[in-house]
Structure formats: structure tokens, C-alpha cells
Structure 1
Amino acid sequence: MIFTIILCCMVGQYFAATTMNPTTKHHAHHHTGTHPTHAHRTRPTVEHWVSDSFVFRYDPNTHLMLASQHQKCFIYTMNGQESTEVHTPHGLHELEKSIITIIDAYIYDTSRTFITMSQDAVMAASKTFAHLCNKNGTTTFKLN
């Protein structure tokens, strides 16, 4: 009889050991519902800053207009009508656009060349412009 009791205890321990949870913990993640899929994203095109600037000065004594950009000065001689219209915002802007168009034409048309002015010639034309364009490395051009 003792043999039967021991045998029953051993069989009971055997079944108890196989149905117990393991000692390591494992967390199962169960998700319900639908989730958005993640498409591969391409990087957007990166735009770079683009800037350009001219500084314009009008000399009322000589009726000259100066356009300066970086280390370049451009001197434009105005006609009578432009000398009058430069005193209105619209006339000033139209003159500035015309000067930029002339500069662009010289830059993009390789058959045209700028006329370089010496510092003495700039001084004779306008002392104010000579002061503004008398910087190290600055070149002054005559547009007309």
C-alpha cells in the first residue's frame, strides 16, 4: 500500500511539473484593430537660400545713378526724363530695373564688355560715388 501512495505522489508531481508556467516571464503583445502602414518616406528637396542685392544711390548734382553690388560699382548717366522721374517711387523703381537689365545684358552677353573707370574718373564724375566705390578690390564700371 505504501508503494501505491508513493507511486501516486510521484505521478502527481510529474503532472504538476509539466503544467506549471515557466519561471521566465514573457509578455505577449496582442493588438486589436487596424494600424496605418508606414510607407517609406523620401526626403523632400532642400531649397537653398538665394539672394542678390544692389544698393542704389542717386547724385542730384551730376544726375548719375550708382548701383553697387559686392565689390562692383556701376555708374549710369541719366537722361533728362529719368532725372525728373527718379524723384517718384515708380520712376525710381523703373530706373533701378533698367539698370539691372543693362548689367544683366553685359554679364550674359559675352560679346559686350564693361568699360572700367579709373578712380580718378570716378572722382571727377562724383566725389560721393568715389568715396563709396573706393574700397579695396572694388571695380567701377561705366554703363552708358
Structure 2
Amino acid sequence: MPLPTVILPGYFASASEYRDLEQSLQQLGIAATTVPIRQQDWFPTLGGRSVVPILRKIDQAVKQQLEKHNTSQINLIGHSAGGWIARIYLGEKPYTIHGDVSDDSVGLWNAHSYISTLVTLGTPHMSQERWTKRN
């Protein structure tokens, strides 16, 4: 049986825009869900501000799927900026660039053990954003 899959929307996109992808994966027998992000959830990240609010939503969605499907790993699909945010989530270096976490271990999500495969679609891996270069 294929691993469950969590879809991470691109920048300023909402989960509803990924329903077709989610349903297509489900028709193939893959338990798929999209991180429940609304367009307004991106507002606090505008202007190069911290993506910690999005990382928290990813972490919550991933852990819910791990528990729901009684599995130790899932697959993650990140679209556009969702791909580099997923890299921060999987990264081995703490995401503390904006000073919104005071302890390095808090900014380290340790998610690499939960994720079997990360697929990125249209992700700007060569982004000039400084936090993408660390992971």
C-alpha cells in the first residue's frame, strides 16, 4: 500500500486550489491530503517575514496523517515556494533567521525521519532568500 501523501500549497495559495491533485492521488489509491492553508494564512509571511506559521501548519498536518494512518513515514509534495518551505521543514539546520524562536532546537523541526519522499513541483531551489540556502 502506498504511503499517505501531504500536499503543501505554493506561496499565497490555499488548500482548495489543490483539490484536483488530491482527488487524482486518491483515485490511484494514495491517501492524500492538503495542508489546510488559507490565503490569509500567508499574510504574516509577506515581505520576507518568517514562514514559521506555515511550518507549524505543515507539522500539524504531517503528524495528523502519521497518526491517522498508523505509519512512521509519509510522502510530501511541495508546489512552488511550498517546496523550499518543505526543505526548511526537513532541514538539519534550525530556522532561526528571523529571531522568532529563541532556542535553536525549537526552530529545528526534525521532520526528515517522517518523510519518505519529497517531490517538488516548480520550486525555485535557487531562491535568493537567505533561509533557503541553509538547508
Superposition TM-score tier, normalisation by shorter sequence: under 0.3
Question: For the pair shown, which has the larger CA radius of gyration, 1 or 2?
Answer: 1
TM-score norm. by structure 1 comes to 0.26
Higher RCO structure, 1 or 2 (CA under 8 Å, sep 6+): 2
TM-score normalized by the length of structure 2: 0.28
